[in-house]
A = this chain, B = another copy of it.
Amino acid sequence: MATQKRVSSVEMSPSEARWITLKKITYTDPDGKNRPWEMAERKTRSSSGVDAVAILAILRSRKNTFPPSTVVIEQYRPPIDKICIELPAGLIDEGETAESTAIRELHEETGYTADRVLDSTPVIVSDPGMTNANMKLVTVSVWLEDELQHPQPNLEPGEYIVTKVVPLAELHDTLEEYSKNGCMVDARLSHFAVGYQFAQKIKDDALP
């Protein structure tokens, strides 16, 4: 695979942009005074009111041949000009629910088939100081009969995604390794991994 890299970056006006716009907000503060705020906004949002869904897939073996694991993807992201490590994710199409998007996107991006939804968060916001971008995190269960399978994804033209299966107990350290090797890790995935590792340490009474 040839290296993906940024070749140019130029300022553009909102009228030229198809996907994003800049807005100047005015809001009233608690003292009733008007104050300004600058934000970036997506021009596209489905009638569901939710932009995207991220998928936490829990892979387990009925014969216990591998530990509970999850799927992360490696993908070049132009805004940071690096390979980014993220949960599988996708935009919600018109008429879709977050949960059906999660099952569809997991299958398309990674080839794994979810058999049920374990959890679905309320609508949450990715960077509320700067944008209104929002999403849901959907946790799905993927049971495999025996050993770990690596099915073929069904990527769309222009999608270049590599799938990695990581045991949940190793996720935190695996993400640190990715960072050391020049990849960037998504903050939401990183927070999940910190939460997971932290709960284990508290239970084991291993916190300093």
Task: Identify the A interface with B (CB < 8 A).
Answer: 1-14, 16-32, 34-35, 37-42, 56, 58, 68, 76-81, 84, 86, 116, 118-119, 121-135, 137, 139, 141, 158, 160, 168, 175-176, 179-180, 184-200, 202-203, 207-208
> For residue A176, which residues in chain B have a CB less than 8 angstroms away from its CB?
122
Query: Smallest CB–CB gap between A161 and chain B, Å?
Result: 11
Contact across chains for A194 and B195 when beta carbons are under 8 A apart: yes
Q: Is the CB of B137 within 8 A of A187?
A: yes
Residue numbers in B under 8 Å from A31 (CB-CB): 2
- Interchain CB contact under 8 A, A124 and B158: no
Given known contacts A11-B21, A21-B22, what 19 new A-B pairs fall within 8 Å (CB)?
A2-B28, A7-B26, A13-B14, A16-B24, A17-B22, A20-B130, A39-B78, A40-B40, A56-B198, A79-B128, A80-B132, A121-B185, A122-B176, A125-B185, A128-B186, A131-B131, A134-B184, A139-B194, A191-B191
Bound-complex Cα distance A68 to B196 (A): 15
In the complex, chain B residues whose CB is within 8 Å of the CB of A191: 137, 188-189, 191-192, 195
Residues of B within 8 A of A76 (CB): 27
Evaluate contact between A195 and B199: CB separation under 8 angstroms.
Answer: yes
Given contacts A39-B78, A198-B196, contact A124 B185 (CB under 8 A): yes
Which of B4, B34, B129, B141 interacts with A79 by CB under 8 Å?
B129
Q: Establish whether residues B12 and A27, one from each chain, have CB atoms under 8 Å apart when the complex forms.
A: no
Nearest Cβ distance between residue A126 and chain B, in whole angstroms?
Answer: 4
Out of B26, B118, B119, name the residue touching A6 (CB < 8 Å).
B26
Q: How far is the CA of A128 from the CA of B35 in the complex (A)?
A: 28
Q: Do the beta carbons of A80 and B184 come within 8 Å of each other?
A: no
A27: B residues at CB distance < 8 A = 4-7, 76, 78, 81
